[in-house]
Structure 1
Amino acid sequence: MMKYHIITYGCQMNLYDSGLIATLLEASGFESARTTGDADIILVNTCSVRQHAERRAMGRIASLANSKSQRDGLRIGVVGCMAKRYGQSLFSSLPFIDFVVGPDQYRRLPEIIGNGKRTASVDEDSEERYSELRSRQRRGPCAFIAIMRGCNNFCSYCVVPYLRGRERSRPHGDIIRETEALTEQGVKEITLLGQNVNSYRDGTVDFPGLLEKLCGLSRIERIRFTTSHPKDVSVDLFRVMGSKSKVCNWLHLPVQSGSNRILELMNRRYSREQYLGLVAAARGCVQELSVTTDVMVGFPGETDEDFLRTVDLIQAIRFDFAYMFIYSNREGTAAANLEDLPLDIKKKRLEHIIDLQNRITKEQNTTLVGKQVELLVEGECKKGDYDGYGKTSNNKVVLFKGFCSVGDLVRVEVHRLSGWTPWGEIING
């Protein structure tokens, strides 16, 4: 029996897709290998959203060249977004690889591996949803469920619509059945995935409606979702979040910039004022809401004034956490034709907002000290003075002392912060 090993880079959707690939391979008689050294087939699931992600994946793939030369029969494949982006040309830059397969062609993997021929299969399939498949994920209390694929937004800096195709939603019945199957395996929390979950629509069921249906399942304890696009979130969504206790009080809402001029250049299709209004509406509907975001600095043409508008927005909203990064030029996007900023300016701006947001995150988490919070226990701690860690409904990771099992819902009293991470003890009884 041939063994496979998957190396995954990138977002949660890529983790989910690696699970789909595992399901497809195991259905065809392949067996999972714990390490690359034990595998007959190595697949590298790649990300193209930023240049740094591509460099990391390319470096890892290149490191496999020695294994290929020393082990007869070893086959190496590149799958995912880089496969779609570069296609057949990867055979020139990585001459030792055997196959290249894009996100809409994973069903062909058993056939491609089996025929032993060098193959590139990267065509877009606008009908492919992998609806009936179940992603093979690591056992634990939390799991991902992809509810849709693709993106229609065409932000001027982003390659995702070109690599993952147009939006298409899974039937809501398949999502419900997958959730039920996961809860039977002990999963208590699901995270619904999509490039823009708020665009979900299956016939008459929109995204708030899907959440309401999932909340009707008895065994699921918590429901999260990511990512939301500000132009598509609605007050209806906030009302469902506020009225359904199973929907976590956490909203990840990427803002990217606080400057209207830059938002227009990015083709984000909302204004700074609209974004501030959305956050205010969400906080008005959902108690103890945690709001997190993505912020990009150094977009082509960003002036000091534009940057200060972003700084001001971060200070005004006081995000609980932010993913912050420098603009990365992606060939083929509209922004690639704009004049880039000097790297030293981009780095200084990134350092500034990281320092600012880190202070805000610590201040936000300090408000938990002395309070009791409910955690879903996600794992044990092997180091330090902690026995385990878990997450609150509003997405705060808390370390704790006390004995329990992974998957338990426990109450913890927060005593202090370790860095910016809350630390506490389980309350017995």
Structure 2
Amino acid sequence: MSIDRLVVIGGSLAGLRAVEAARKAGFDGSITLIGAERHLPYDRPPLSKDFLNATEPGGQASAPFFRSDDVFADELRVELLLGAPATSLDVGRRIVYIGDREVGYDALVIATGSKLRTLPDTDHLDGVHGLRTLDDSLAIRAALDAGARTVVIGAGFIGSEVAASAQKRGVPVTVVEALPTPLVRATGTVMGAAVASLHERNGTRLLCGTGVKALEGDGRVQRVVLSDGTVLEADLVIVGIGVVPCTDWLEGSGLTVDNGLVCDETLWTGVPGVYAAGDVANWLNPMFGVHQRMENWTAAAEQGAAAARNAIDPDNAKPYETVPYFWSDWYDARIQFVGVPECDEVLVVDGDVDCGDRWTALYRHGDRLVGALTLNGQTVIMKYRRMIAQKASWDEALEFADKRKAAAAAKVAALP
């Protein structure tokens, strides 16, 4: 069938990249971008980094919008439907519903992202926030600027970035993690503790192996009661206990939902004309031969573009494969990971994870390099990403690491 109408659901990075890729590929039909938030598409990582860290008088900082209204209207020629989410999908009639409104499509990219997990029985308390949206970041920044005693629930990357921002302001902050070792899903058991140790090394209190029993307060949060009986005084509570893909609205649509929207290697959902991208896509990654759902900036950008190109030209759809990559900024350190954490062995090949400010750890599965984790390793991390993409052996990775260490030692020895 002729594809004249492209609809993209999701007004964030993946959705924007889908629109841009379609126009760049020469698509001249109509494009409609549907977004649940009232804002134009904006960059999410700064919400817990630069944007949150802004400490100028009055707390002013530019919102991290990707494009202006003029660019959407004139260059990309997009109809923007913002401020209300898609509510259902009729794949037989090829119609997206926004409440009672019908939006027809020939090709559809679903990039609805994910939503925050929440703590039960906390809706009645002010001062309890997640961090997913621009409005969340503004509220948290205002509370930190006011010196709010802060408790972060969940020692994941977003929560830890908020804790680092609080510490930078001199605000009392405690991080609470239910698991005995943080960051297991992202970096594996061995290295999770090494990364989490940055908190205590920078003066942030970290409590692991204890859950939250209750949040208490009279209209506004005042205390966090832990499962071991500990009571933490708090004016601000950040809930960072993970996200779930936004798929509830697809109930009854006929699409396969299992930890996201199940897709093949081309990001196709199996339903004619419907593709997915970003946090919501659980797709077959040919790089590792397994289904993955990735919650990071790089995947959202790349998948949005790939899904759009395949949606407007399905006869020539191309697989999307990648080596996952994410980064996080804590205090004055940058943490970067490439690959997958599931492995048979983790080996620190450079630096000292106990006290060093720069180190590299490699992950082995069988005889293959499958992952690399660095602290302040910006000069090397992408080299390991390329090695993983090239399916480098473990021995090749170790040889490369040894050569880098030898070169660094020779450079130091040559100094006067």
TM-score (norm 1): 0.28
Q: Which has the higher helix share?
A: 1
TM-score (norm 2): 0.28
Task: Between the two structures, name the one with larger relative contact order (CA 8 Å, sep ≥ 6).
Answer: 2
